[in-house]
Structure 1
């Protein structure tokens, strides 16, 4: 039991000051089963209080959206009367517990039931105590009550005229916000970023905030917002702005494959029109930098990807030099394109490794690589994708 006192030091100060936690400390050495039950009861009480802070409206929506549905919630009293099992599920659905924490708290509830109903047959073992205390404290009692992030807070940020920053607390509040609130915020940001009627600075700020929040948006929220975006698009083709915004929010994989295929086929056609020759270097930078904003080569559909990768390889490896003003250059290649292509390949190497390796037998690439200096640049790309 030596590690348990150290775990209890992690409990929030407001709970540390309560008699319940002090009683847990006192009875732990003599009655570990009761100590486990009391600490679990404290965690359940804390979850109830946090749910009430989130609000009855959000809790009720989460209960309706759960599968299977949870008992309806219309007022605070309904939360108070929730069974412990349903309360833990509701906390997970709202976002107060991660999936792993929900499963752990459910196992602790099973331990508590054994301790409560089978006292004569079951006593808390060392592992029961450590598991109960570690889970209840790490998942619940050490965490501050969340502040439910409001949509208007995010609107105020993107409407600022100067540089925008998202502080750690706001990011944390968004991460733990219920799906419904995350969805409301992401919808506002996507709609603003795509709106022709908004000022350019506001649209760009919305785009930047989406990039900041991207990794915190849950998959269910992405799917819901993507459906709304698809309804808005209908059969309209994807444009560059929509793809940029969709990628910033992590929605791009959820859009129709046919629309994504048509879009990237047009990007390949644009690259082909520009040409991979080094003399077109001025046009290469703007065209290739867009791919970074489209999610890199990973987001390109598989049937379009080989064509784009081949174009980039030919642009990167260049052609034999050693003449004219560049007499001292062994290879003439696009200085604007090369670093961007290298970065794109590095970031997507697992997706394009086979494509690049297969190009060793491509007649155009083989013809170019007859020159040892050009071939060396192709070998550099092979090293990048296989690293």
Structure 2
């Protein structure tokens, strides 16, 4: 469910270097600058050009196609992408990702920390969460963690040997910094976007986002709990995508970070990464392959749940933002410059093509072995996987 411009604009990170390069590489234009906070209280405006505007994600929901994007646009097609109808949405912030567990229940997330929910297949949407509420939840959890552990750590410091002392002081410093960071985000307001969403069923799900945003729900999004202590992300790296592959959950993040959970998201392990740059997504290929992809055409394949990786020679240096699985088990990746190509379960690349307008593609779904539907900077575009670039 990965999308191209979902991450931006992001503020310069407090504790890591990657954000500025991340912003620059995607080359955002001013037309997609961050919505003001009042956009959380204003409904999306109807536009006849919505299907040609920046769209971030695309879902096949039963017989419906659903696309989400800038200014709160949510579009539905019930005739296989021949025509599109814009749905009423209670916010006008950029929506970055969507996920449906069945033909009725779905969620969309986006800028200003917004979370929307539908229970009728996307015809109507309700706001469940925004960035101000999310920031307050994160602050309360960080303060609670500091209060819970500070006394115990201070007592242990009194009798610690030099090696133990250093470790205890680092733990206390980390808890203190987390609380300070959380407080500063509350002061800033609804500035952090959610970047992806995944639900196991209509009750339990996760949302991930910029600067370490990570929340969990067990009641369909009626309430959320911060999940940051379940993952080792001390530097508040952007968590760009969350996806189920096989029986494990994976998170793709910046600075070469990939995480896996084998217990339904309760705990996460940091994988040995093959790359130091940003990952934008992951997808399963064949029966047991896992493909990770990101900046500058970098893609890798693993046959043991991400424990070891092999480099895929994509032949391009354009960043890769979206993916879909084809009926034969291979996958299609799309990205910057309008590029798309297939990767089979052996890691071999074929059918490299480029759209005539060369505008970035954000997400893709498969309509058949050869016909694909994409969204991106130019809106909705059908492409064929057989248009091989000379």
User: TM class by shorter-chain length?
Assistant: under 0.3
The structure carrying a bigger strand percent of its residues is 2
Q: Which protein is bigger by CA-based radius of gyration?
A: 1
Higher relative contact order, structure no. (Cα contacts within 8 Å, ≥ 6 residues apart): 2
TM-score by length of 1: 0.25
TM-score by length of 2: 0.25
The structure carrying a bigger helix percent of its residues is 1
